[in-house]
Amino acid sequence: MTLLRKFWRKKDDKTAHELYLVLAGQAREPVFYRDGGVPDGLDGRFDMLALHLFLVLRRLSRDKGVAAETGLAQQLFDVMFGDMDRSLREMGVGDLTVGKRIRAMTEAFYGRVSAYEAGLQAADDAQLPDALARNLYRGNPPDAVKPVRIADYMRRADQLLQSQSGEDLLAGRLSFPALPDFD
């Protein structure tokens, strides 16, 4: 590894933590749980983190600059799942079980990535809300409007993130759109 890459790796590790704090803060906005009906528990919180991580990773995947060369996306992924590991341990989940739970969460995340990517690319406006209904609400949304509003939020967030510069991302800055209105 060249000296420059070592420099960027250290910077990106810090950047990955900064990006994670921003996206985790957005994922924990009370409106998603209070008004949006996302279950406010381990599964619901994981799903909202996964949704926001997906959007940021999607943006990073299109960056051909330093962010791509330094592995920022992988570091961000590692930060999130490191946080999941720590959270499970703090909840009292045993060492032997934590690895299995993290593996299941990782597989669930990749499934969500596929569903959300397909939903964002689909010409059919129903595909993304259907994926959200399955994942955020385990197939039982409180009403049909809530997944549609979160899908709209995701589309707006994706557009805003795509317009952000690589320099902003490397500085640990993310912008998200206004939160969804569920009324």
Confidence category of residue 4, pLDDT binned at 50, 70, 90: very low
Please tell me the predicted confidence (pLDDT) of residue 102. Answer: 94
| 100 vs 7: which has the higher pLDDT | 100
Percent of the chain at pLDDT > 90 equals 74
Nearest to 79 by CA among 97, 56, 58, 61: 56
Please tell me the predicted confidence (pLDDT) of residue 173. Answer: 93
Q: Calculate the average pLDDT of the chain.
A: 90
Q: What CA–CA distance (Å, rounded) separates 57 from 68?
A: 11
Per-residue model confidence as pLDDT tens digits over 45-85 = 999 999 999 999 999 988 776 566 678 899 999 999 999 99
Say yes or no to pLDDT of 149 above 70: yes
CB atoms within 10 A of CB 161: 23
Please tell me the predicted confidence (pLDDT) of residue 24. Answer: 97
Where does 72-178 have alpha helices with state H? 72-90, 95-121, 127-136, 145-163, 166-170
Please tell me the predicted confidence (pLDDT) of residue 9. Answer: 46
| DSSP at 94 | -
Q: Is there a contact between 131 and 118 (Cβ–Cβ < 8 Å)?
A: yes
Please tell me the predicted confidence (pLDDT) of residue 94. Answer: 86
Please tell me the predicted confidence (pLDDT) of residue 12. Answer: 53
| DSSP at 183 | -
Per-residue model confidence as pLDDT tens digits over 86-120 = 999 999 988 889 989 999 999 999 999 999 999 99
